[in-house]
Amino acid sequence: MHESADEPRALLQAQSLCFARNDEAIFGPLDFSLHAGETVLIEGDNGSGKTTLLKVLSGLLDPTSGDVLLHGAPLTLAKLSHQVALLGHLPGLKLELSALENLRFATGMGGIRPGITPHLALASVGLEGYEDAPLRTLSAGQRKRVALARLLLVPAALWLLDEPYANLDRSGIDLVNRLLDHHARRGGAALITSHGAYAFTSGTPRRIALRATA
């Protein structure tokens, strides 16, 4: 998975990336690169460091050694350019606010893609009519859809999705696949974790395998 110099510059690149907590290696060393239009699946058992890897790639955690490059620049500087959208285990939504209020906050923070509005985004994740309902009244799957609508709105080229299929029904899983397809065709890239590729319906994605080291 090493890339040669004449290849186009990768959207995201990890160079001998290692992460250890209290001197206990969580993962690594990892070398991989992610180009525009690619969707890559991070596979691994529970506790193999999938979530930790996403946290390192998004800049939440600092790697113990190695580098994360975004468009060839170190992550800390590239972070300033609205490039990365993270969808973690916790969706980062406020239950007291409505779906629309949550999305308006997200666009205020992260900017908005041209040609889309919070209303349109909610409609495209199948939540038309739920705009003003407090999130507290929505189911876990519907909340997940609101979080997916956030990804559609913010102009990030790189999606880091932690277990995007969790809590979703069959049509929700299809929705995630459609969104990933759409994102890839638009020139975006996505890195998703899953403890199994059962949910992937379209094609076989490239995989990065993680093994529990402890």
Partner 1 sequence: MKPGSTSAACLALLRRDLTLVWRRRGDALNPLLFAIIVVALFPFALGPETTVLARVAAGTIFVAVLLAMLLSLDALFRSDLEDGSLEQLVVSPHPLALLLGCKIFIHWLTTALPLIIIAPLLAQLLQLPPQVLPVLLTALALATPLLSLIGAVCVALTVGMRRSGMLLTLLVLPLIVPALIFGAGACNAAQDGFAHAAPLLWLAAWLVLSIIVAPLAAAAALKISLS
Q: Which residues bind partner 1 (CB under 8 A)?
A: 58-62, 79-82, 84, 86, 88-97, 101, 104-112, 154-155
Q: How far is the CB of 64 from partner 1 (least distance, A)?
A: 11
Collapse the DSSP code of 15 into the 3-class scheme (helix H, G, I; strand E, B; otherwise coil) and give the result: strand
Encoded tokens for 96: 């007291």
Which 8-state DSSP code applies to residue 155?
-
Nearer to partner 1, 19 or 200 (CB): 19
- What is residue 162's three-state secondary structure? strand
- Which amino acid would we find at residue 196? G
CB of residue 6 to partner 1, shortest distance in Å? 31
Q: Which is nearer to partner 1, 13 or 107 (CB)?
A: 107
To the nearest whole angstrom, how small is the minimum distance from the Cβ of residue 117 to partner 1? 11
CA quadruple 123, 125, 130, 133: dihedral positive or negative?
negative
Q: Which is nearer to partner 1, 20 or 173 (CB)?
A: 20
Which residue, 145 or 177, has its beta carbon nearer to partner 1? 145
Q: What is the DSSP string of 119-134?
A: HHHHHHTT-TT-TTSB
Q: CB of residue 62 vs partner 1: minimum separation in angstroms?
A: 7
Residue closer to partner 1, measured from CB, 91 or 205: 91
Q: What is the CA radius of gyration of the chain?
A: 17
Alpha-carbon torsion, ordered 51, 54, 59, 63, to 10 deg: 80
Min dist. Cβ of residue 134 to partner 1 (A): 8
Q: Which is nearer to partner 1, 15 or 83 (CB)?
A: 83
Burial class (CB in 10 A: 0-12, 13-18, 19+), 198: exposed
Neighbours of 59 (CB within 10 A): 16
Whole-number Å distance between alpha carbons of 148 and 92: 11
Cα 126 from Cα 121, distance rounded (Å): 9
CB of 58 to partner 1, least distance (A): 5
